[in-house]
């Protein structure tokens, strides 16, 4: 990149890791790096207020709670009510409680709105002296395959700035700049479209006692808490449906029918949108010194609550890998990052896929047909009656279903200093 006169004047600084994006992935990466004494800068394109109000996921799984606990961050960043571990499956109006009790000891999952986690991570990181730059525009990444990548961006007042670093954490979600910077042909995208739409509704209405998933011949519906007085609802709909085709009365009527709850208490609807249930995994999750974290690398359908928790898992592996490289000159974790993350990504994709197909096929079979409906009903029957099936489900819900890779199996040892650690 030849330096023009403007570039020569632009203010520049350097750090160890530049984190692109201040969502759950970026804030967790930066918080864990700071706990490891590693210098980093977060660049976020939105304002702090906009980031803080984005309502998305609502559960921090047991594994993630224990991850924050192991880093000494649980007290500062985790609030919310410890979950009683029970989830209600309501099939044709019949209630079945399913537990996430996997028999393990230690802190349990938290029903906890994502935006509150983001707010607490932000406050903790800034209070700890963390460098978080909001309204960073026109971010571009350079020399990712070299030893010292460069990140350029424009500040809110229009100043062009440059940061050189050792690593870039692409935590900018599914539509960010990080993955888009990787040259064609490097990544492979594995995508699946369920052919199902969800109308998602946010309302100031009483939350359920516990997460509620409803199977009905009229289509799938769900009801989750998003705070003491706020509820998130999902209604299966045609993927091409428009939110405007779902006025309030139609929403509440469909929810009462599908949740088999004629007394469901409504409330002012504050947000409604339709999205397609789709999943995608980009492999590998690395290019040179750019490491993709969270939604920047993978999207999973929301059932099972794995989207945010996969982001937290990636963040933990990345932070530990950088810590081992910087402090211990051991690049094993960097080499193994993509493979280790993808092992859990595919595991959680399979679980979310299983849950999505089961809960939709078991209800309105116009989409998948009566044979798939029979299979789905059998899967539910097994879940409700077999102790082993319930235990497997519980382990998948907690995220403690398999032992992480043993480091010794992870590829070569420390690389010669100065070369970009290639993933194995
Ligand atoms: N430059 C800087 N910041 C960016 C850019 C960019 N070009 N593009 C996106 N961002 C920011 C977004 O504004 C957002 O704050 O990156 C952040 C990405 O956050 P998320 O999309 O929340 O992704 P992630 O941190 O991986 O968390 C995944 O968030 O969207 C939910 O359902 C998803 O629960 C899952 C979780």
* Residue at 418 is within a domain: no
Q: From the CB of 310, is ligand 1 less than 6 Å away?
A: no
**Tokens 């279903």 label which residue?**
401
* Residue at 382 is within a domain: no
**Tokens 């999952």 label which residue?**
109
What is the residue with the minimal CA distance to atom 34 of ligand 1? 308
* Residue at 30 is within a domain: yes
Chain segment 102-139, per-residue pLDDT in tens: 899 999 998 888 999 999 999 999 999 999 999 999 99
Chain segment 227-259, per-residue pLDDT in tens: 889 999 999 999 999 999 999 999 999 999 999
Task: Find out whether 423 and 335 touch, Cβ atoms under 8 Å.
Answer: yes
Q: Which atom of ligand 1 is least distant from the CA of 311?
A: 26
Helix/strand/coil for 291: strand
Q: How far apart are CA 119 and CA 124, in angstroms?
A: 9
Whether residue 69 is predicted with pLDDT greater than 80 in this model: the reply is yes
- For 349, list phi and psi in degrees, rounded to 5: -60, -45
pLDDT-based confidence at residue 422 (cuts at 50, 70, 90)? low
Q: How far does residue 73's CA lie from ligand 1's centre (Å)? A: 21
In sequence order, the 6+-apart residues with CB closer than 8 A to the CB of 187 are: 179, 282, 283, 284, 287
Q: From the CB of 211, is ligand 1 less than 6 Å away?
A: no
> Is the entire prediction scored with pTM above 0.85?
yes
End-to-end Cα distance, the chain: 29
Q: How far does residue 3's CA lie from ligand 1's centre (Å)? A: 31
What pLDDT was estimated at residue 424? 59
Whether residue 5 is predicted with pLDDT greater than 60 in this model: the reply is no
Q: From the CB of 24, is ligand 1 less than 6 Å away?
A: yes
Q: For residue 341, give Cα distances in angstroms to 241, 251, 280.
A: 34, 38, 14
* Residue at 393 is within a domain: no
Range of the domain at 77: 5-83+111-190+280-361+405-409
In this structure, what CATH number is given to the domain that contains residue 34? 3.50.50.60
Q: How many domains does the chain have?
A: 1
What pLDDT was estimated at residue 416? 36
Region of poorest pLDDT, from 101-110, 135-144, 279-288: 101-110
Chain segment 292-304, per-residue pLDDT in tens: 999 999 999 999 8
* Residue at 117 is within a domain: yes
Q: From the CB of 51, is ligand 1 less than 6 Å away?
A: yes
Whether residue 27 is predicted with pLDDT greater than 70 in this model: the reply is yes
Q: From the CB of 300, is ligand 1 less than 6 Å away?
A: no
Q: Residue 154, class by beta-carbon neighbours within 10 Å (0-12 exposed, 13-18 middle, 19+ buried)?
A: middle
* Residue at 210 is within a domain: no
Whether residue 141 is predicted with pLDDT greater than 90 in this model: the reply is yes
What pLDDT was estimated at residue 9? 57
* Residue at 269 is within a domain: no
Q: How far is CA 20 from the centre of its chain?
A: 15
Per-residue exposure over 228-238, b if at least 16 CB sit within 10 Å of its own CB, e if not:
eebbbbbbbbe
Chain segment 339-380, per-residue pLDDT in tens: 999 999 999 999 999 999 999 999 987 888 999 999 999 999
What pLDDT was estimated at residue 54? 87
* Residue at 198 is within a domain: no
């Amino acid at each position: 990149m030849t330096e023009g006169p403007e570039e020569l004047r632009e203010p520049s600084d350097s750090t160890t890791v530049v984190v692109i994006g201040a969502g759950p992935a970026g804030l967790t990466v930066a918080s864990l790096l700071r706990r490891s004494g590693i210098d980093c800068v977060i660049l976020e394109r939105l304002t702090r207020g906009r980031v803080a109000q984005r309502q998305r996921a609502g559960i921090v799984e047991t594994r993630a709670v224990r991850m924050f606990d192991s880093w000494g961050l649980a007290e500062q960043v985790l609030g919310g009510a410890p979950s009683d571990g029970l989830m209600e499956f309501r099939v044709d109006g019949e209630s079945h409680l399913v537990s996430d009790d996997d028999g393990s000891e230690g802190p349990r999952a938290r029903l906890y709105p994502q935006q509150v986690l983001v707010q607490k991570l932000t406050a903790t990181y800034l209070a700890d002296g963390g460098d978080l730059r909001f309204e960073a525009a026109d971010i571009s990444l350079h020399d990712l395959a070299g030893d010292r990548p460069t990140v350029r961006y424009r500040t809110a007042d229009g100043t062009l700035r440059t940061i050189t670093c050792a690593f870039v954490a692409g935590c900018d979600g599914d539509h960010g700049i990080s993955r888009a910077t990787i040259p064609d042909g490097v990544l492979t995208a594995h995508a699946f479209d369920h052919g199902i739409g969800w109308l998602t509704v946010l309302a100031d209405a009483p939350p359920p006692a516990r997460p509620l998933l409803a199977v009905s011949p009229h289509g799938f519906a769900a009801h989750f808490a998003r705070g003491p007085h706020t509820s998130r609802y999902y209604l299966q709909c045609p993927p091409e449906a428009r939110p405007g085709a779902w006025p309030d009365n139609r929403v509440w009527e469909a929810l009462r029918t599908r949740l088999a709850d004629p007394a469901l208490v409504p409330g002012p609807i504050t947000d409604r949108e339709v999205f397609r249930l789709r999943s995608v995994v980009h492999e590998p999750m690395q290019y040179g010194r750019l490491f993709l974290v969270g939604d920047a690398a993978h999207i999973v359908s929301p059932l099972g609550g794995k989207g945010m928790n996969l982001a937290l898992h990636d963040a933990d592996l990345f932070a530990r890998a950088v810590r081992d490289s910087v402090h211990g000159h051991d690049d094993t974790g960097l080499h193994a990052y993509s493979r280790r993350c993808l092992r859990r990504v595919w595991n959680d994709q399979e679980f979310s896929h299983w849950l999505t197909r089961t809960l939709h096929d078991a209800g309105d079979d116009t989409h998948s047909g009566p044979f798939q409906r029979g299979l789905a009903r059998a899967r539910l029957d097994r879940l409700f009656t077999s102790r082993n099936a319930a235990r497997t489900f519980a382990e998948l819900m907690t995220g403690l279903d398999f032992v992480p890779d043993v480091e010794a199996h992870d590829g070569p040892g420390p690389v010669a200093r100065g070369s970009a650690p290639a993933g194995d």
